[in-house]
C-alpha cells in the first residue's frame, strides 16, 4: 500500500500513523521529523531548512523532493509506505507522481479551534517519537514515554502564533491537493473529528476497516 495521510498541522497525522504502522506493515515517512532531526544535528540539510521550520513555513520544493526520493529508495520493494507531511503543494505532488503511484488518501478533517488546543498541549518522546497530549492522551507518568521511558518534550513551533501561521499556509497552499487527487480518482478515506477529547483508536479502526474494503489492508 502506498498512501498519504493528509490533514492540517495538528490534525493527528503522527498519532494515526504510529498506531497504523504495525497493523499495515508499512514504513511511515514523516517529512517533518526528517527535517527536525536534520536541524537538531546541524546537517547541511538542517541548516537549509532551519529558518523555514521555526517560522512554520514550507520548505522549498526542490529540497523536499531531494529528501523524499532518497528516503523512498530505502523502502523495501515488498513493503508499502505512508507519507506524513508530503506532498504539501501541487508541485510536490507532481514530483511524487514521478516517483510512486499513490493508492489511497487518508484525510483527517479537524476544525482549527481543536487543532490549536491540541498543538499547544502536545508532547513528543525524544527517543521514539510517540505523540502524547497533556489534556486527553496523557502518559502514565508525567513527562515520561509509556513505550520506551524516554523524556517527553514540547516542540518550539507548538505555540499559538506559529500554529495560526501554519494553518493559513495549509489553507492556501495545501488544500488544493484535495481537488488534485480527486481529479486523478485516487480513493479518499475521510475521518472527521468533532471533539478535542475524541480518542484516536476508534477512528483508526474505522480507517483500517475502509482500507480492507479497498483491499489495501
Read off φ and ψ for residue 161, nearest 5 degrees: -65, -45
Active-site residue, 135 included:
no
Q: Which of 166, 184, 212, 215 is catalytic?
A: 166
**Assessment of whether the complete model's pTM goes beyond 0.75:** yes
Q: Is the pLDDT of residue 184 over 90?
A: yes
Active-site residue, 138 included:
no
Q: Is the pLDDT of residue 94 over 90?
A: yes
- Give residue 106's pLDDT: 96
Q: Which of 13, 36, 118, 123 is catalytic?
A: 13
Active-site residue, 13 included:
yes
Give me the count of residues in the chain: 217
Confidence of residue 173 (pLDDT cuts 50, 70, 90): confident
Q: Rounded to an integer, what distance in angstroms lies between the CA atom of residue 164 and that of residue 177? A: 20
Q: Which of 2, 19, 36, 88 is catalytic?
A: 88
Q: What is the grid cell recorded at 195?
A: 471533539
pLDDT tens track for 113-132: 999 998 999 999 999 989 89
Query: Which one-letter DSSP state was computed for residue 55?
Result: H
Q: Which of 50, 71, 155, 164 is catalytic?
A: 155
CA atoms within 13 A on the CB side of 155: 30
Q: In the chain, pLDDT over 90 holds for what percent of residues?
A: 45
| Helix ranges, 56-109 (H) | 61-72, 90-99
CA atoms within 13 A on the CB side of 108: 25
Element holding 29 (H helix, E strand): strand 26-30
CA atoms within 13 A on the CB side of 171: 9
Domains of the chain: 2-213 (3.40.50.300)
Amino acid at each position: 500500500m502506498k498512501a498519504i495521510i493528509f490533514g492540517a498541522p495538528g490534525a493527528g497525522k503522527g498519532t494515526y500513523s504510529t498506531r497504523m504502522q504495525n497493523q499495515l506493515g508499512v514504513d511511515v515517512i514523516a517529512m517533518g521529523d526528517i527535517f527536525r532531526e536534520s536541524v537538531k544535528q546541524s546537517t547541511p540539510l538542517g541548516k537549509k531548512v532551519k529558518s523555514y521550520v521555526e517560522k512554520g513555513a514550507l520548505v522549498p520544493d526542490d529540497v523536499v523532493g531531494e529528501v523524499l526520493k532518497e528516503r523512498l529508495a530505502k523502502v523495501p520493494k515488498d513493503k508499502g509506505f505512508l507519507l506524513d507531511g508530503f506532498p504539501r503543494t501541487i508541485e510536490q505532488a507532481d514530483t511524487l507522481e514521478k516517483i510512486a503511484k499513490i493508492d489511497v488518501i487518508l484525510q483527517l478533517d479537524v476544525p482549527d479551534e481543536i487543532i490549536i488546543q491540541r498543538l499547544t498541549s502536545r508532547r513528543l518522546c525524544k527517543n521514539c517519537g510517540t505523540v502524547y497530549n497533556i489534556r486527553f492522551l496523557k502518559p502514565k507518568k508525567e513527562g515520561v514515554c509509556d513505550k520506551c521511558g524516554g523524556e517527553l518534550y514540547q516542540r518550539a513551533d507548538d505555540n499559538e502564533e506559529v500554529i495560526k501561521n501554519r494553518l493559513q499556509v495549509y489553507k492556501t497552499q495545501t488544500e488544493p491537493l484535495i481537488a488534485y487527487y480527486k481529479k486523478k480518482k485516487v480513493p479518499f478515506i475521510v475521518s472527521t473529528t468533532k471533539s478535542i477529547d475524541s480518542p484516536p483508536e476508534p477512528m483508526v479502526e474505522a480507517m483500517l476497516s475502509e482500507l480492507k474494503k479497498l483491499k489495501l489492508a
